[in-house]
Amino acid sequence: MAGPRVTHGRLAVPRTGVRSWWGKAWQRAVEEAAYVEQDLRAGKALARRAEVGGISVAAGSLLAAVREGDDAWTVEVAVPVLSDDERRALVDVVAAEAGRIAALLAGELGHELVEHAEEAGVELLPYGGELAATCTCDAYLDPCRHAIAMLVQTGWLVDADPLVLFAVRGLDRESLLAALHERSTGATSSGSIGVADLADDVEVAADAMLRAQRLVALMEAGAELPEDLF
């Protein structure tokens, strides 16, 4: 079942740039998708100037308004969603090792998780040809510079929170946690080994997310970090 559409507020350029390997992989996909270098440069410039409005993320869909001069255009990008079997396989991969869900909610996407997902037939990171864009402008190339601007900023979201990538692929945060909880509950009743670790992960996940959010907010404000944050 598709999760809710979540709109992220207007973004500023990350002060430290794209930091993560998965964020850089998303940006490479955007560069692969661009047909014309001029459009790629123009799109990146629009993104840096914060001309992209709030980005709305749903299963298989990214939606935003992009300004250019006195005009504003509506951009939508379709991204393939995972099948039911692929979503179940991804949940199994996340549940396979203690600490993975807590790491995800703290903003970290491990290489091993993605590699194991690929071995299970699940492709998380998109490639350029999967990013199908439409825009209300009159450009004939897909993606146009407005779509590229939105995709660049989506990469900033993915860099900060890899679960944005999960959501656009069709497995949002709440659905992932619910599936992990259901899996752990069912496995507990059948006496499977290692379920206690998974249950603990699900219980502490929300706390890990809140701590990460507090840490980011304090760092951006330049405030001193309290010892009890860790």
pTM score over 0.85? no
pLDDT score recorded for residue 53: 96
pLDDT score recorded for residue 198: 47
Contacts of 198 (CB under 8 A, 6+ apart): 95, 98, 180, 183, 184, 187
Distance CA 109, CA 99 (A): 11
Mean pLDDT, consecutive 10-residue stretches, the chain (230 aa), reads 80 89 96 95 96 96 95 96 96 92 93 96 94 94 95 96 96 93 67 46 51 52 51
Contacts of 163 (CB under 8 A, 6+ apart): 104, 105, 172, 173, 176
Contact 189, 207 (CB under 8 A): no
Q: Which amino acid is at 163?
A: L
Q: Which two tokens stand for residue 44?
A: 């990146």
